[in-house]
Amino acid sequence: MKRTPVIAGNWKMNKTPAEAADLAVALARSLGGLTGVEVVLCPPFVSLPAVGAAVKSTRIALGAQNIHWEKSGAFTGEVSAPMLAGLCSHVIIGHSERRQYFGETDASVNKKVKAALASGLTPIICVGELPAEYEAEQTGVVVSWQMRGAYADLAAEEAARTVVAYEPVWAIGTGKAATGAGANAVIGLHIRGMLADLYGSALADGVRIQYGGSVTPANIAEFMSQPDIDGALVGGASLKAPDFEAIVQAVFKAKS
């Protein structure tokens, strides 16, 4: 099964709308025409319109970093999937920073995944173990549990429209990336393997699974050489146009 690689830039809580537009304009110029690789930019909510304008009429897609699971109501400070549906096509769900700082659980991740799919958004579902869990060799258990939680009661047709990002928490923002083989093993066994258990191997073979955690232009090729890794969710390096361009170009080279 040949899966189209998907590279997403998670800008996290960085850049004003004007700064975000500048970065998006630069990326639109260099990457806007690329085929065979899906590129998704995920700026903060307030920058979605500016970045959307910059990448309009290019092949670059736009994503948000979070949603609420309800459509509307008394949820001060929150943004719903229907509100985003006209602005972007993707949404990151269950990032470890949201789990760590904002109390997200597997149950809330599951509700958000369903809300995203109901509004036609592609969820990028994040899973990954904490440093202590990694030390205790609990990676498989933790990731399997997170996967089961995220996909609870999801129909096959819905599961087929998801993207997963394996982000070991010890690798995020630390400069200590996983090895390609290490990440591939977790993804193959516990992420694609879990999808195969839940939905069968034909469906599992079609779902794109990214690696995330200290991805750079120097290490992206190692990840892309792995059979079960279909792209990356990039944090820090996605904030600098030359670095993100180099990462995307390397993916293009690796998989075309």
User: Interface with ligand 13P by CB under 6 A: which residues?
Assistant: 10, 95, 167, 172-173, 212-215, 233-237
Q: Is 104 a catalytic residue?
A: no
Minimum CB distance to ligand 13P, residue 238 (Å): 7
Which is the catalytic residue, given 38, 68, 90, 95? 95
Which is the catalytic residue, given 38, 104, 129, 167? 167
Measured between alpha carbons, how far apart are the two ends of the chain, in Å? Answer: 14
Residue nearest to ligand 13P (CB): 235
Minimum CB distance to ligand 13P, residue 155 (Å): 27
Minimum CB distance to ligand 13P, residue 117 (Å): 20
Here the contacts of 75-79 (C-beta below 8 Å, separation 24 or greater) are 79/45
Minimum CB distance to ligand 13P, residue 201 (Å): 28
* Residue whose CB is less far from ligand 13P, 120 or 173: 173
In which region does residue 162 sit, left (phi positive, over 0), alpha (psi from -120 to 50) or beta (all else)?
Answer: beta
3-state secondary structure the chain: CCCCCEEEEECCCCCCHHHHHHHHHHHHHHHCCCCCCEEEEECCHHHHHHHHHHHCCCCCEEEECCCECCCCCCCCCCCEHHHHHCCCCEEEECCHHHHHHCCCCHHHHHHHHHHHHHCCCEEEEEECCCHHHHHCCCHHHHHHHHHHHHCCCCCHHHHCCCEEEECCHHHCCCCCCCCHHHHHHHHHHHHHHHHHHHHCHHHHHHCEEEEECCCCCCCHHHHHCCCCCCEEEECHHHHCHHHHHHHHHHHHHHHC
d(CA 230, CA 81): 25
Minimum CB distance to ligand 13P, residue 190 (Å): 19
Q: Is 78 a catalytic residue?
A: no
Minimum CB distance to ligand 13P, residue 172 (Å): 4
Catalytic residues: 95, 167
